[in-house]
């Protein structure tokens, strides 16, 4: 991946806004930024729209953008501000839900970390083989018992057990750099 920053000295950074770098930036941060925006908006479709708007805005104004901090920080602050603007504009029409109001009180850094963890876990689940992923989602997210999952997928309970074992092993391997894998899985499961 090309570097987005061409650093000259300690303090003077120049952004390299070519299409390849911009595309890499989008690929790297889009999913986590959507989860991040969703914490404010409580609407994943609107969150995707907000994040896309931020990227479009950055691309159209790219020659005038020179963040004082990291591009990552710039993106998260831009998405947060755009999400809050959306909430302010629509506040007259819709009262904030209690969950959205409570989410506004969570510290910014915690929200960024939570969004990145959620994106990482989600990506790892999506990379599971198809049958493994189906079994994992049915058992962990939809709360089906192994026998119910087996019946729904028209497979044996032993196959469900085997696929769950494979899914959990692969997720542990992919998320091994997180010290508390089980805490993360529990955290992710509670949210869904």
CA dihedral sign, ordered 59, 63, 66, 71? positive
At 71-110, the pLDDT tens digits run 888 898 899 989 988 888 876 444 555 555 555 556 666 6
Domain shared by 94 and 13, yes or no: yes
Cα 161 from Cα 4, distance rounded (Å): 45
CB 152 within 8 A of CB 144: yes
Strand stretches in 21-116, DSSP E: none
**Phi and psi torsions of 105, nearest 5°:** -90, -15
At 24-82, the pLDDT tens digits run 889 999 988 998 898 888 888 999 999 999 999 888 888 777 767 788 888 988 999 89
Query: Which are the contacts of 131, defined by CB distance < 8 A and separation ≥ 6?
Result: 153, 163
Q: Give the domain range for residue 69.
A: 1-107
The structure's pTM equals 0.56
The answer to whether residue 115 is domain-embedded is no
The answer to whether residue 80 is domain-embedded is yes
Domains: count for the chain = 2
Domain shared by 176 and 86, yes or no: no
Domain shared by 25 and 82, yes or no: yes
Cα 153 from Cα 145, distance rounded (Å): 12
């Amino acid at each position: 991946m090309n570097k987005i920053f061409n650093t000259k000295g300690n303090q003077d950074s120049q952004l390299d806004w070519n299409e390849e770098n911009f595309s890499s930036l989008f690929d790297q941060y889009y999913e986590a930024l959507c989860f991040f925006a969703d914490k404010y908006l409580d609407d994943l479709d609107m969150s995707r729209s907000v994040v896309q708007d931020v990227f479009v805005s950055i691309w159209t104004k790219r020659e005038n953008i020179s963040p004082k901090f990291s591009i990552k920080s710039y993106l998260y602050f831009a998405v947060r501000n755009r999400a809050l603007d959306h909430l302010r504009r629509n506040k007259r029409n819709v009262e904030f839900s209690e969950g959205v109001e409570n989410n506004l009180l969570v510290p910014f850094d915690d929200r960024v970390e939570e969004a990145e963890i959620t994106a990482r876990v989600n990506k790892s689940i999506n990379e599971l083989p198809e049958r493994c992923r189906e079994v994992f989602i049915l058992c962990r997210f939809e709360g089906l018992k192994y026998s119910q999952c087996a019946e729904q997928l028209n497979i044996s309970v032993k196959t469900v057990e085997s696929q769950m074992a494979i899914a959990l092993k692969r997720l542990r391997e992919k998320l091994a750099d997180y010290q508390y894998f089980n805490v993360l899985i529990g955290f992710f499961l509670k949210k869904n």
